[in-house]
Amino acid sequence: MATSIHLFARDFCAAIGVPGSYENALSLIAWRAAEGGGAKFNPYNTTRPMPGATIYNDITLENGEVIHVYSYTSYKQGLDATAQTIRQSNMAPILAALKKGNSAHAFWTALSGTPWGTGTPGGLTIDQWLDDCRRHWFDRAMLVVPGT
């Protein structure tokens, strides 16, 4: 059965023990919209290898290192991979912002300071991007998680 980005965001919040607040939902839906991509069960383009996962695409870092975005074998595996990634020490600012759950702006500021590397699209400021996501909430929240 198809699952929406909104439901993945809800399940992700539960998996990492953060509030399922509107601000967290907005943060995660906007994050997915900025990430794009179509890797199965991987809406945020996680690069964590998991058993049986297949390479969806490659990312070349500024230092020349190549990392892989994975398609996962199941919804649960994708959730687990994303949760494991967000719990890494280098992702602590993202997790801290989600634990507070009270500011999508703070989440995006934290995200931009981590190796995840997602930025706002089209040269928009954080506030412009979040306003755009509020205006297009339904369309972005109801997108289907690839693989579901």
Residue 12, H or E segment: helix 5-16
Please tell me the predicted confidence (pLDDT) of residue 45. Answer: 95
pLDDT tens figures, 101-147: 999 999 999 999 998 879 899 999 999 999 999 999 999 999 999 99
Token reading at 143? 């997108």
Strand partners, 57: 69
pLDDT, tens only, 82-98: 999 999 999 999 999 99
Give the pair of three-digit tokens for residue 60.
Answer: 């070349």
More confident residue, 2 or 98: 98
Question: Measured at the alpha carbon of residue 77, what is the angle toward residues 74 and 82, in degrees to the nearest 5?
Answer: 130
Cα–Cα distance list, 50 to 7, 15, 72, 74, 97 (Å): 22, 17, 7, 11, 26
